[in-house]
């Protein structure tokens, strides 16, 4: 029988045995998975754990503050934020292929962590031990979809599994590797994390980088961030957070269409709303959102985000469509 208390006890014992008195580094992404994985490891070894949060510039509006303030307040974990926005933008310059984006983002992530590890080790020069362990919030569906679990075909290289570079110097602690999302949420609640974090929609590690179809630029990120914030606010206001699994907002940056906004003709970009209902992200159905909610989202985005002059709805289930567009 599945029981979140048992899983926590089991994992805590296992993590303690695995790492002894070693220091452990955790990659916080702002999402549920890494937040719960870190809280679980913190439960096991306290301040032997240091969390590193990389601002890769592909985050949604307000996400950095939520991690730096709300998550730290509720867990008491040690947190170091690395501002790597420029580095990621450089690395992604001119890149349009989805798999290439994922690999670059995954690779840069690990490199940034390795640098953070060296900095932290130098700081603790007294014991001078390199940090050998890295916590990752890998879930069972991530393992399966990256072809690591059951020999399934490689559909997408999830950045926390398939996108790792060959010269990885860490050994991984992946306490959620056998679990589905609802189980992870139950564990997070059991550990006392706030509902705002535990109930949060899944957000991919590569962030908004894989929700811009085309090259990732600062301007495009800024446009998508504003549209995404409006969609999320309206879905929450309509009380739909429990009903939808997630609702990616995707910017079709290389597509333009003619519109009429304000005083005249525009030639702007479409955004796609991709609301899905799912149990575990392995399959999904498109959510039949009420028309009035769709209308409000569409009106607000086209009024408040001048770069966007068209809002379209994705009505594809998974399969055949994946949840993310890249």
Q: Taken in order 173, 7, 186, 324, is the CA torsion positive or negative?
A: positive
Among 43, 145, 174, 234, contact with ligand XMP (rule: CB under 6 A): 145
Footprint (CB under 6 A) of ligand XMP, residues 158-197? 158-160
CB under 8 Å to 126, separation ≥6 — which residues? none
Tokens of 267: 């030639």
C-alpha torsion 266→96→323→257, nearest 10? 20
Q: Which stretch binds ligand XMP (CB under 6 A): 7-15, 39-47, 107-115, 153-161?
A: 153-161
The answer to whether residues 311 and 270 touch, using CB atoms and an 8 Å cutoff, is yes
Annotated binding residue at 32? yes
Task: Report 76-115 residues binding ligand XMP (CB under 6 A).
Answer: 102
User: Which tokens belong to 221?
Assistant: 């990120």
Q: Closest CB to ligand XMP among 246 and 309?
A: 246
Q: Can you tell me the distance from the alpha carbon of 309 to that of 301, in angstroms, rounded to the nearest whole number?
A: 8
Among 80-88, 201-209, 236-244, 294-302, the segment contacting ligand XMP (CB under 6 A): 201-209
Task: Identify the residue whose tokens are 């189980």.
Answer: 183
246 interacts with ligand XMP by CB under 6 A: yes
Cα dihedral 223/210/292/260 (nearest 10): 40
φ/ψ (deg, to 5) at 238: -85, 0
Q: Which stretch binds ligand XMP (CB under 6 A): 67-75, 110-118, 156-164, 297-305?
A: 156-164
33 is in an annotated binding site: yes
Residue (202 or 268) nearer to ligand XMP, CB: 202
Of 63-71, 82-90, 203-211, 223-231: span binding ligand XMP (CB under 6 A): 203-211
Q: Between residues 185 and 296, which has the closer beta carbon with respect to ligand XMP?
A: 185
Closer to ligand XMP by Cβ: residue 50 or 184: 184
128 is in an annotated binding site: no
Touching ligand XMP, residues 290-319 (CB under 6 A) = 318
Stretch that binds ligand XMP, among 4-12, 67-75, 76-84, 200-208 (CB under 6 A): 200-208
> Does the annotation place 278 within a ligand binding site?
no
DSSP assignment of 71-116 equals: IHHHH--EEEEEE-HHHHHHHHTT---HHHHHHHHHHHHHHHHHHH
Q: How far apart are CA 152 and CA 233, in angstroms?
A: 37
> Nearer to ligand XMP by C-beta: 109 or 133?
109
Q: How many residues bind ligand XMP (CB under 6 A)?
A: 16
The answer for residues whose C-beta is within 8 angstroms of residue 267's C-beta and 6 or more apart is 256, 257, 258, 259, 309
Binding positions for ligand XMP, rule: CB under 6 A: 102, 145, 156, 158-160, 202, 204-206, 246, 281, 318, 322-324
Query: Residues within the annotated binding site?
Result: 29-35
Query: Residues within the annotated binding site for ATP?
Result: 29-35
């Amino acid at each position: 029988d599945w029981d979140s208390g048992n899983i926590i006890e089991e994992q805590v014992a296992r993590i303690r045995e695995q790492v002894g008195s070693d220091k452990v580094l955790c990659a916080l992404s702002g999402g549920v998975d890494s937040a719960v994985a870190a809280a679980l490891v913190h439960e096991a070894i306290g301040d032997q754990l240091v969390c590193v949060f990389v601002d890769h510039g592909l985050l949604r509006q307000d996400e950095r503050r939520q991690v730096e303030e709300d998550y730290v307040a509720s867990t008491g974990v040690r947190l170091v934020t690395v501002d790597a926005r420029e580095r990621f933008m450089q690395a992604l310059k001119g890149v349009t292929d989805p798999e290439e984006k994922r690999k670059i983002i995954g690779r840069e992530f690990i490199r940034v962590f390795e640098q953070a590890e060296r900095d932290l080790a130098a700081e603790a020069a007294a014991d001078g031990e390199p940090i050998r362990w890295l916590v990752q919030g890998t879930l069972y569906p991530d393992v399966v979809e990256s072809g690591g679990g059951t020999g399934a075909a490689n559909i997408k290289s999830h950045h926390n599994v398939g996108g790792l570079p060959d010269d990885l110097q860490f050994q991984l602690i992946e306490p959620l590797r056998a679990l589905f999302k609802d189980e992870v949420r139950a564990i997070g609640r059991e550990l006392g994390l706030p509902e705002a974090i535990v109930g949060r929609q899944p957000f991919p590690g590569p962030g908004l980088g894989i929700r811009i179809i085309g090259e990732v630029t600062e301007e495009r990120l800024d446009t998508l961030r504003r549209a995404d914030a409006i969609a999320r606010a309206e879905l929450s206001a309509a009380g739909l957070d429990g009903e939808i699994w997630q609702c990616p907002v995707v910017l079709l940056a290389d597509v333009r269409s003619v519109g009429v906004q304000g005083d005249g003709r525009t030639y702007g970009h479409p955004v796609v709303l991709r609301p899905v209902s799912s149990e575990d992200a392995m399959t999904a159905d498109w959510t039949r959102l009420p028309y009035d909610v769709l209308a409000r989202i569409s009106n607000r985005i086209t009024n408040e985000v001048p770069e966007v002059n068209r809002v379209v709805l994705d009505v594809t289930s998974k399969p055949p469509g994946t949840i993310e567009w890249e």
